Amino acid sequence: MRKKIEKFLRQNPVTLSGLLAVVVAAVWLWQTIEKGANKQAGTLFFGPFESFCVNQLCVAQEEGMWMVNDSKTKAPANTEAAETMVKQVKEVKLAEKVSENSNKFDSLGLGGKEKVIISAGEKKLEIGNISSDYSGTYVREDDGKVVYKIAVIWDKGAMTTWDYWEKKTLSNLPRYQIQKVSITKGDRKIELSPKDGKWENEKWIDKVAFLNSMKYLDNFKADLYNKVEIEVETEKEKNKIILGKTQTDKKNLVYWASNEGKYFFEISQNDFELLTGIIN
């Protein structure tokens, strides 16, 4: 059989090249159809991507964490805000045309001196106003000639601020799903659990479940002496909060908290004393 095939191929050399040409043509045709379908659907951004920028603020994943960077400061980002943005950007479709009249662009919040541009991958999208019926946001491709409305609500004023993207929450857990809390300070360790669904100190467990920060401490050198570690276990996850206080100068004492011991946030003295008082 092998000899017959070899003999056939020698006698028909064009067959192989013809077959190759058919394969190449088929691949090209498939890619063309696929691109055409995407273009027709109006899809703008193509993933996967793990970073995006809103003007000069860039949000990207680094070592499994979302970080926000304005070229001066880099800090942990709000995970929910970052992941929601990635999802929304991937679903953007330029399908609903609103206007091709450039004289109307300004009233739609587009084309002004202070543009708000979202960039992801190689694509850029200018963000305009939210529609009057709150059904979407006006957008156009950067310097594009057509304005579209997308079915996403984007507040361009908020999106350009550091405050919008910065992480502020150190703990945000379903309070009634917390099964155990371990508190460690040096060689001491306390383990607490609810009894008959109730905690002995309701105010304390509320703060363990939800802890907000005052601000991110950039380039902060934390004093880890006498730190307190709180590990919280729920039905589905674990969360660690590291707490401490650092004398930055003769007058200022900073109360701080961290999840991983690398990035630090200032918290109020009241929150610090409430959380750590149980083991002090």
234-268 pLDDT tens trace: 988 999 999 999 998 888 999 999 998 999 999 99
Mean pLDDT in residue range 202-230: 95
Tell me what the mean pLDDT of segment 29-41 comes to.
45
pLDDT value of residue 53: 96
Q: Do 112 and 126 contact (CB within 8 A), yes or no?
A: no
Residue 130: pLDDT above 70? yes
Mean pLDDT of 79-88: 94
pLDDT at 197: 87
Q: Which of 127, 126, 136, 141 is closest to 44 using CA atoms?
A: 141
Q: Are residues 147 and 173 located together in one domain of the fold?
A: no
Residue 79 · residue 167 · CB < 8 Å: yes
| Contacts for 192-198: CB closer than 8 Å, 24+ residues apart | 192/278
Among candidate residues 110, 130, 165, the one where a domain is terminated: 165
pLDDT of residue 143: 86
Question: In terms of domains, do 230 and 257 share one?
Answer: yes
Q: For residues 153 and 194, state if they share a domain.
A: no
In this predicted structure, the answer to whether residue 43 has a pLDDT above a threshold of 80 is: no
Residues 109 and 201 in one domain: no
Measure Cα distances from 233 to 64, 75, 173 in Å.
21, 26, 10
> How many independent structural domains does the chain possess?
2
1 found inside a domain:
no
Domain termination residue (choose one: 165, 187, 220) = 165
Decide if 202 is inside a domain. yes
Which pLDDT score is estimated for 121? 85
User: What are 6-21's pLDDT values in tens digits?
Assistant: 555 455 554 545 544 4
Q: Could you tell me the pTM of the whole model? A: 0.76
- Give yes or no: residues 159 and 72 share one domain: yes
Distances (CA, A) of 32 to 39, 43, 45, 97, 115: 10, 15, 18, 24, 34
- Residue 37's pLDDT is what? 40
- The mean pLDDT value for 198-204 works out to 95
In a domain, 209, yes or no: yes
Q: Output the pLDDT for position 47.
A: 64
**Host domain of residue 176:** 169-276
Q: Judge if 70 and 137 occupy the same domain.
A: yes
Calculated CA dihedral for residues 68, 72, 75, 79, nearest 10 degrees: -10
- Domain boundary at 165, 194, 219, which? 165
Share of the chain above pLDDT 90, in %: 71
Residue 92 in domain: yes
With 60 as the cut, is the pLDDT of residue 98 above it?
yes
Question: 3-state DSSP call for residue 115?
Answer: coil
| Residue 192 within any structural domain of the chain | yes
What is the rounded distance in angstroms from the CA atom of residue 246 to the CA atom of residue 242?
13
Is the predicted pLDDT of residue 122 greater than 90, yes or no? no
In a domain, 13, yes or no: no
Residues 187 and 261 in one domain: yes
Q: What is the DSSP string of 139-169?
A: EEETT-S-EEEES----HHHHTSHHHHB--E
Q: What is the mean pLDDT of residues 181-189?
A: 96
Has residue 42 been placed in a domain?
no
